[in-house]
Amino acid sequence: MEIDKRVAEAVSFLDLRLPEKPEIAVVLGSGLAPLADRSERLFSLEYWQIPHFPKSTVPGHPGHLIVARIGETPVLFLQGRVHYYEGIPLAEATLPLRVVRRLGVRFLIVTNASGGINPAFEPGEIVAVRDHINLMGTNPLIGYVPSSGEPRFVDLSEAYSKRLRAIAREEAEGLGRVLKEGIYAAVSGPSYETPAEIRFLAEAGADLIGMSTVPDVIVAKQVGFEILVLSCVSNRAAGTTDAPLTHQEVIETAARVAEPFSALIARIAQRIVAEQA
């Protein structure tokens, strides 16, 4: 079944069930799923209950669609994502974003856990992504022919909203934090990078490395979201430390920063919606 038909069926299913239609959605990356649990939950479904939603096989990605209230602001959370390395085509892995956009959501905050290439970024630090380098060897738009007026050739010259990054910086300052910015390099995984690859990426200008996000951003830009990406630096990249790289370290670091990360996302979400009023 073609992607647009799957999207339409999922939209019809959710449209009848959502108690509210939020203007903002948040994708929660590795180890960051608990951020949704710090809000007043109004509605929740597991991905397997929603027609055509892909199911994650990775720890730290439980796979729930949640509508919760942050203060007076309703927010739709995608608690966990599906990755290319799980063997799922990117067109299917990114289908939830097409569904959420057709439900009327206009603003998207994407979070992830990343390896720090830039030595100025410490583990546990939150970084706003300002650009990316796609080294995944593929693109979620390959083979997809839009049927609803979306562009087939998507302009990524400002995929990451300057306006939303400015809001994020100001709200971080309100919490006594400095929000740095960086360039995110996306690779397919699931193996971690070699030290030689990290040296190459550092020379290319990458500050962060990860196995997600870029497909999300490409599809989100095609369907018309305004996008903010916040990355939790979970570990130092290969070759920049003597310690071995493990997924457990990613989960533990994300848990350590859950409180300030939650507070920042809450302030950003409320500010975005307030400015639209």
Q: Catalytic site residue 247?
A: yes
Q: Catalytic site residue 84?
A: no
Q: Which of 9, 23, 86, 92 is catalytic?
A: 86
Using only C-alpha atoms, the chain has a radius of gyration, in whole angstroms, of: 17
Q: Which of 61, 132, 136, 160 is catalytic?
A: 61
Q: Which of 112, 118, 212, 234 is catalytic?
A: 212
Q: Which of 113, 168, 172, 185 is catalytic?
A: 113
Q: Which of 134, 139, 226, 247 is catalytic?
A: 247
Q: Catalytic site residue 85?
A: yes
Q: Catalytic site residue 134?
A: no
Q: Catalytic site residue 64?
A: no
Q: Which of 56, 112, 231, 235 is catalytic?
A: 235
Q: Which of 85, 92, 197, 226 is catalytic?
A: 85
Q: Which of 211, 220, 258, 269 is catalytic?
A: 211
Q: Catalytic site residue 147?
A: no
Q: Catalytic site residue 47?
A: no
Q: Catalytic site residue 36?
A: no
Q: Which of 83, 185, 186, 249 is catalytic?
A: 83
Catalytically active residues, by annotation: 30, 61, 83, 85-86, 113, 211-212, 235, 247
